[in-house]
Structure 1
Amino acid sequence: MPDSADLAPLAISLPILVACLLLAGGARLPRRAVDATATSAAAAVVLLDLALLMATLHGPVVTWSGGWTPKNGVSVGVVLVADPVGAGAALTAAILMVLALVYSWSYFDSAQGHFHALMLLFLAGMTGFALSGDLFNMFVFFELMGAVAYALTGHKIEEPTSVQGALSFGLINSLGAYLTLFGIGLLYSRTGQLGLAQLAVALSGRPPDVLVAVAFCLVATGLLVKAAIVPFHLWLDDVHAVAPTPVCVLFSGIMVELGLYGIMRVYTVAFAGALPEADVHRVLLVLGTLSAVVGAIMCFAQRHLKRLLAYSTIAHLGLFLVAFATFSAEGSQGALLYAAAHSAVKAALFLIAGVILNRYGGVDELDLHGRGRDATLLPWLMLLGGFALAGLPPFGSALGKAVAEEAVARAGQPWGPAVFVLVSALTGAAVIRAALRIYFGAGSGPPKSSSTVEMTGSDEEAEVGGLLRRVPLTMLVPIVVLLTGALALGVVPGVAAAVGAAADRFGDRAGYLTQTLGAVPTGPLAAVGPTAHGGWTVSGVALGLLSATLAALFAATALYRDRLPSVATTPARWVSPALNGLRAAHSGHVGDYVTWLFVGVAVLCGFLVLPLLR
C-alpha cells in the first residue's frame, strides 16, 4: 500500500494515465477490453480513495507535490489536503463512476474508447477538485471537469439538441469560470497568496474589505454556477435532457454537489472572519431557499423524466445550501448526510430513466402511460426511489433531512422544517406520479398541456442500437446497489456519528491550517466550531413520514385531478400564471441564461459589497 501522502496524487494521476492509454489504443481493442480497462481503473481509484479516507481519520493528509513544503508559512508548491469530507467526496465520485461505467457496458457500440477516456478524465478532475488545498488549482481541476463535461454532454454529435445543450453548458460554465479566475486574480494582487491556508493567514485580522468581498463574490459565482443554485441554474435541465444517462448520474450525483462543497470549503478556510458572517449567511440562505422552492415547483410541473430529475437536483441542492448556511457543525452534518444519500437515490433514478428511454423509446411521462405494465422489479425500485427522495425513514435521505431541519430551526429559522418537508414532498411526488403512470397505468390519461414552453421528451431517441427487450443485469445491478446504499446510510449504526465527526473536522479551521502550514495558528484563526450531535429523533421521523405521506397525496392528486371537485383544483388555477412565468424564464436561450447569471452576481454583490460601502 502506498504511503498516505502518495494516495491523493495517485488517485488523480491514475485515471489520467489510463485515459491516455485508451485514447491511444482504444480503437484497436475489443469493446469488452475497453469496458474492463476503464472500469478497473475507476475501481482502483475507489480503493485509493477508501484508503485515503481511512488515513484522514487520524488527521488531514497533506501532500506537497515535489516536496515544496512551506518555509515560514510561505510556499510555491502545489498542495493537496484530504480531510474526511474531501476524501469522502472523492470516494463518492469514484463509486458513482464505477457504477456508471458498468451501466454503460451496453452503450455506445462505436465509442472506441473515447467515451471511457472522457469519463476517466472527468473522474480525475472531480478528485483533484475535492482534494486541492490551493484556490488556483481548484480552478484548474474545475476547468478540467468543465471541459470534459462539455464533451460528454455533446457526445451524440449527430443530434442537434445534444450539441446545443453542450454549447449552453460550455458558455455558461466558462463564463462563471472566467469570473472565478478574475476573483482569484484580485485575491492574489491583494495578498500574494493562492493556497487556502495561506489566504486565511493573509486575510485574518483585517477589517471587512470591499475588494476582498468582490473577490469572494466572483469566486463564488463560478462555484454557484457549477452547483446550479438559482439564478445560476438554468443550464442544468437542458444538459440533463441531452446528456447520456451514465453522464447524468455523475452530473446530478456528484458534480453539482462539488460546486457546493467548493463554496463551503473556500469560505470556511479562507474567508471566515474576513467577511461579515451575518451577510454571508443571509445571501446563502436566500439563494438556497429560492433554489429549493423554484426547483421543487418546476420538478412537479415536468413530464420529461430527465428534466424532472434535474429540477429535483436543483431543489435538493437548495436544501443543502440552507443547511450549510447555518455555519454550524450540525448543519454541515445534516447537509453531508443528505447529500450522500441524495447522490445514491438520484443516480439510481437517472439510471431508471435511462432504462425507460432504452426500453420504451421515450421519456415523456404522458406518452408512456401504462407502457411499463410488463415490468416486474423496476416499478417498485422507482417507487422506492421516489419515497426515498421524499424523505421516507429509514433512508439516509430522511436521516440527513431530519438533522438538517433541526439545525436550521436551531439557527433561528423556524420556517425551515416546513420548507424541507414541502420541497421533499413535491420532488418525491413527481417521481411517484411518473412511476404510477408509466408502470401501473394509473391516472385517467390527462390531456397534454398546450403550453409552448413545456418540454415533453417525446422526441428523445434511445441511446442503444435498438430498444431493449429485457433489462440486462449490467443496468439493473447498479440501480439496486445505489438504492441499497441510500438505505444503509440511514440504518447502519455509527454512520450519523461518523459524518458528524467529519463535519466537526470540516469546520476545524485551526486544524486545517496547522496540518497544512505546519504552524499552530493563534488569535481568531484558532477557533473551532461546535460539535455535531445530530441523529434520528422523534420529530425527525415524524416529519419524514409527513413528507412521504404528502408526496403520495400530491402524486394521487396529480393523477386523478379530473375526478376532484372544482374547489380542490382552485389552488392549481391560482398557481398556473406563476408556473407559466417560471417556464418562460427557463427558455432554453443562452442569452437569457447569461442575463440571469449577471443578475445573480448583482445579488451577491448587493448582499456582501454594498453594506461595506455605507
Structure 2
Amino acid sequence: MAALAIVIPLLAACLVLAFGRLLPRRLIDLVALVAVAGCLANAVVLLGSAGVTWIGGWRVVGIAFVVDGVSGGLTLLIALLTLCALLFAWGYFDTVEAHFPVLILLFQAGMTGFVLVGDLFTMFVCFELMGAVGYALTGYKVEEPDSVQGAFTFGVINSLGAYLGLTGIALLYAKTGQLGLAQMGVALAGHPADRVVVVGFALVCVAWLVKAAAAPFHFWLADAHAVAPTPVCLLFSGVMAPLGIYGVARISSAVFGPLVPAVHTVFLILGVFTAAVGAVMAFTQRHLKRMLAYSTIAHSGLFLVALSSGNVEGIAGAALYLIGHAGAKGALFLLTGLLLGFHGSVDENGLFGKATRHRVLGVLFVLAASALAGLPPFVSGIGKSLAEESTHSIPLIVLFIVVSAVTAGAVLRAGLRIFWGVGKPAGSDQEVTSGEHELPESDRPFRRTPMTAFAAIVILIGLSLATGVIPAVTEAVGRAAAEFGSSAGYLALVLGVGPEPDAAVPEVHWHGSSLLLSALTVGTAAVVALVALHFKPRQPGKAIAVLHRVHSGRVGDYAAWLVVGTLLFAGTLLVAG
C-alpha cells in the first residue's frame, strides 16, 4: 500500500501525458482528480497500518517505505492539498495544457516519496524530482520574463543545495557503508561523531533547509511564489517548504540527534533568525503573494524553534502548527488568486476597496488570517501554544507571539484594506515590489467565483478547523510525535532491533494557557493591523531598507548567501561539538 502512494500519481501522469493531445481538457482534469482522490483514500488506509515495506523484499539493499504516524499523516496532507490545487485549477484556468496536471501529479509523487522512503539516497532522488518539477511549475508561464527569472532562481539555488546534500550523503556512505537511515544509525551507534559525520550531516541538513527556506537559504522562495501559478503556490507554501523541516527532523531524530547534540542549539539560532527576517519582510510587503511567501519563511523559523526544544511536545506542536499553517496559508493563496482573476492585481495598495462586493471572500480571508495567528479553535492555535510551552522559555514564547502576530497582522491589514476599504492606502516604497499590472492567470477577468475554486478554499479552512476540534486527531498527532522523537523506536520499526520504547505521549488538547496564548496572539495581530491601517507609515529605517536590498533578486547574491550559510551552519556544529 505504501508504494501505491507514489505509483498512482506516476501512472496517472504517464496516462495523461500519453493521451493528453487526444482527450478533452475536462477529461484530463477528471483523470488527475480521480488519481489524487485514490491517493487520498490510500493515505487514509496507510494511517492505520504503520510498518515497513521493502521494495522487492530485499532487506539488505532494498528501498524501505516507512509508514509511521508522521509520515502517514504527511502523505495524507500532501494528497489533500494536491486535490485542492487541482480542484481550484478546474474552474480557475480557462485553458491549460495537459502538462500542467502531469507536473502536479509528478510533484505529488516526489513529495510523497520524500516523506515515505527510509534511506538518504532515495530521499535525495525524490528531492530532485520535487525540485525539477517545481522549477517547471514556477516557470509555467514561460512566455513571461519574470516567470522564467523566478524559475531560474528556484532552479539554481535548489540545485546548489542538492549538490551539497549529495556530497553529504557521499561522506556519510563512505563513513558507514550504509544509505538507509536505520542501518546508518546502527553503524554509528556507540561511536562519537567525528568530523566526517558532522560535516556530512550538516551538508544534508543544508539541502533540506534550502527547501524549507530557512534564512539565509530562503531568498528564492518569495521570487518563486511571485510568479508561480496560484495552485502551485498552495503546494509550495502549504507542504513543500514544511517538508524541508520534516527532512531535517527525520534524520536528526532517527540517526544524528544523539550523535550531534549541538544540533538543537543550531536549530534554535537558525529558527529565531529565520522567524525574525520572515516577519519583518512579510509586514513590509504590498505584493500579496510575496507577503504570504515571507510569512511562510517566518513560520518555517517557528517550526525550527519548536523542534530545537528536543522534546516530544515540540514535535507535536510543530506538527499541529504545520497542519494549521497548510490550511490557512493555502486558503489565503487561493483567495489571492481570485483577486488576481477579478482585478488583475495582487497589490495591496492598488486593490484598496476594490473587492468590497466580495464580502464572503473577505470573511474567509480574515478568518484564514486569524487562523494563521492561532485563533481558537483552529488547530494552528493549539499547535502554536504547545510549541511555545515546549520551549520552557519566556523570551521564546514572546518570539512566537510577536512573529505570529506581525505576519498575521500584515495579512489582516491587507484583507481589511481590500475587502472593506478600511484605513488608507499605504505610501509607496521603492524598496518594495508592487503587485500592480500582474497578468491574470485566466484568459478573461472573472465575473463570479468559480464554484470549484470556492470549494477548495472551504476545504482548506475546514481542514484547519476540523483538526483543532476533533480530539481524536490531536491525540493521534501526540502519539505520532512520541514515536517520531525516538531513534530507538525508528530502529525497532524498520529493522526490528530491540523492543520499541514506551515514549511519553504529550497531552494535546485545549486548556487555559493555550486559550490565553492564542487569544493574546490574535489580539496582538488585530492591534498590529489596526495601527498599520490608521497611522501614516513612516519611511522604512535604514536597517529595513538594507534588508530589502539584500533580497536583490540576483541569483549570484543568493548563491553567495547559500555558501556563507553553509559554512556557518557546518562550522558551528563542528565547533560546538
* TM-score, reference length from structure 1: 0.92
| Cα displacement (A) at 1:527 | 6.4
2:232 maps to what in 1?
Answer: 247
| Cα displacement (A) at 1:214 | 0.4
Q: Contact 1:252/1:343 (CA < 8 Å) preserved in 2? A: yes
Q: Contact 1:509/1:528 (CA < 8 Å) preserved in 2? A: no
Q: How does 1:103-502 map to 2 (within 5 A)?
A: 103-275=88-260, 277=261, 279-409=262-392, 413-449=393-429, 451=430, 453-502=431-480
Given residue 608 of structure 1, which amino acid in structure 2 is its aligned partner?
L
Given residue 14 of structure 2, which amino acid in structure 1 is its aligned partner?
C
Given residue 510 of structure 2, which amino acid in structure 1 is its aligned partner?
W
1:146-185 CA distance string (max 9 Å, x none): 0000000000001000000001000000100010000000
| Cα displacement (A) at 1:496 | 2.2
1:578 maps to what in 2?
Answer: 543
| Cα displacement (A) at 1:272 | 2.5
| Cα displacement (A) at 1:433 | 0.6
1:227-250 CA distance string (max 9 Å, x none): 000111000000000000000000
Q: Which of 46, 49, 60 pairs up with 1:52?
A: 46
User: Structure 1 CA distance, aligned partners of 2:372 and 2:193?
Assistant: 40
Q: Which of 479, 504, 513 pairs up with 1:539?
A: 513
| Cα displacement (A) at 1:529 | 5.1
Given residue 417 of structure 1, which amino acid in structure 2 is its aligned partner?
I
**Over the residues paired in the alignment, what is the CA RMSD in angstroms?**
1.4
| Cα displacement (A) at 1:459 | 3.0
Identity %: 50
User: Structure 1 CA distance, aligned partners of 2:267 and 2:478?
Assistant: 22
Structure 2: where are the runs of 5+ without partners?
A: none
| Cα displacement (A) at 1:610 | 2.4
Given residue 496 of structure 1, which amino acid in structure 2 is its aligned partner?
T
| Cα displacement (A) at 1:509 | 2.0
Q: Which of 522, 525, 531 pairs up with 1:551?
A: 525
- Please state if 1:76 is matched with 2:76: no
Q: Contact 2:52/2:65 (CA < 8 Å) preserved in 1? A: yes
- Please state if 1:63 is matched with 2:64: no
Q: Contact 1:328/1:529 (CA < 8 Å) preserved in 2? A: no
Secondary structure class of the residue paired with 2:53: strand
User: Structure 1 CA distance, aligned partners of 2:106 and 2:191?
Assistant: 40
Structure 1: 4+ residue segments shifted above 6 A: none
* TM-score, reference length from structure 2: 0.98
| Cα displacement (A) at 1:485 | 1.5
Q: Contact 1:402/1:536 (CA < 8 Å) preserved in 2? A: no
User: Structure 1 CA distance, aligned partners of 2:425 and 2:198?
Assistant: 53
Secondary structure class of the residue paired with 1:415: helix
2:564 maps to what in 1?
Answer: 599
Q: Contact 1:19/1:116 (CA < 8 Å) preserved in 2? A: yes
User: Structure 2 CA distance, aligned partners of 1:594 and 1:530?
Assistant: 42
User: Structure 2 CA distance, aligned partners of 1:188 and 1:543?
Assistant: 45
Secondary structure class of the residue paired with 2:394: coil
Q: Contact 1:280/1:607 (CA < 8 Å) preserved in 2? A: no
Distance change >3 Å, CA 100–CA 136, structure 1 → 2:
same
| Cα displacement (A) at 1:556 | 1.0
User: Structure 2 CA distance, aligned partners of 1:436 and 1:531?
Assistant: 41
User: Structure 1 CA distance, aligned partners of 2:366 and 2:573?
Assistant: 43
| Cα displacement (A) at 1:528 | 6.2
